[in-house]
Amino acid sequence: MKKIIATVGPSLLSEFPINKVHTGAQIYRINGAHGTVDTIYGYIEKIRQQVSDAEILVDLPGNKVRTANIDDGQIEIRLDEEFSLKFDQFNFPEFYKYLTPGDIVWANDSTFQFIVMNIDVADEEIRFLSKSFGMLLNNKGMHVRGIHKHIPFLFSRDLELIDIANEANISYVGLSFVRNAADIQEARNLIQSEIELISKVETEAAVRNLNEILGIAEYILVDRGDLSTEVGLEKVPKFQQFIIEKALFHNRKVFLATQFLKNMEKLPIATIPEVIDLYNTLQKGIYGIQLSEETAVGSYPYECIQMIERISNEIDNGVLSELK
């Protein structure tokens, strides 16, 4: 049976108790990008109330630049129209120092594209030209290719979460936007040795430095969503294959994440392409799958977990068992 990292939230854990679906194959993920310190402690306590020996993962948001402090929590953006954000409307107020007019910003998991038009230090704001339309919400990623290697590895939010992880003695900490082995060692120096680290491969730098990362990382996780903003969506399949093959060669445990059961956020059944992709992916020798929105906010978290378990069992049983 493959491991399933199931993200908890308003759906799984709150509306749907985890003890109704727990088999021991699950790791319960708390997304550190959302909620207050008290919220994170509350999730840990609630998980342990429902399953006392549950494995818990606190996923650090890392140095992903995100929107923050937007009035009413959202701003409407229109195609080919300009809009501005203040320096303090990012979780990293020094973001502006790394930008140049003409830079392309990939926002909200690459669903929005903006062009940096002007950086006004006096008024402390950045002006963008939108090449998309919709609502830009708080806490959404703002990614510019090529500047990530210069930004500090851990933000203040990460340090807060590391303190929580140490105090609560959880099972795993997820390291986001790892670029090299030095980043992992920086975190390792701050995190209790009993806590396992899951190093996320989601930057082009991490792929370039994969051998050195695999030299010290027991677990890696390929986040296909953030990786797509770095390398381009069309390149994700070959990057995924390359990373898995390298990790298995080094005898490392590999998780994969992002949109495996996207259809099941709102409907109780997966699409045929989703099932086939899951089957083919699980056959590659990976250690497990991460579910994010599917369980955190989706309407059918139990069904998502059970779907992965059923597909995993089908792989174990093989075709011939069906023909007997």
Joined tokens for residue 190: 């701050």
Q: Which fold has domain 71-149?
A: M1 Pyruvate Kinase; Domain 3 (2.40.33)
Residue 265 near residue 307, CB atoms below 8 Å:
no
Residue 320 has pLDDT above 60, yes or no: no
Q: Taking residues 244-266, what's their average pLDDT?
A: 95
Pick the residue with more confidence: 315 or 158? 158
233: pLDDT strictly greater than 90: no
Which one has a higher pLDDT value, 131 or 108? 131
CA distance 16 to 26: 15
Whole-number Cα distances in Å, 238 to 64, 231, 243, 257, 278? 24, 11, 9, 15, 16
pTM here is 0.87
The CATH number of domain 3-64+152-323, selected from 3.40.30.10, 3.20.20.60, 3.90.1150.10, 3.20.170.30: 3.20.20.60
pLDDT digits (tens, 9 = 90+) for 20-51: 999 999 999 999 988 888 999 999 999 999 99
**Does residue 185 register a pLDDT over 90?**
yes
Which two structure tokens, joined as six digits, stand for 244?
């898995």
Name the phi and psi angles at 155, rounded to 5.
Answer: -90, 170
pLDDT of residue 110: 78
**Strand, coil or helix: what is 154?**
coil
The b/e string for 34-53 (b: 16+ C-beta within 10 A; e otherwise) is eeeeeebeebbeebeebbee
The tokens describing 186, both together, are 């920086």
Q: What is the mean pLDDT of residues 145-170?
A: 91
Contact 290, 25 (CB under 8 A): no
Q: How many CB atoms neighbour CB 134 within 10 A?
A: 15
d(CA 295, CA 5): 10
pLDDT on residue 318: 67
Each domain of the chain, given as residue ranges in start order, spans 3-64+152-323, 71-149
The conformation of residue 13, written as its DSSP 8-state character, comes to B
Average predicted confidence (pLDDT) for the chain: 93
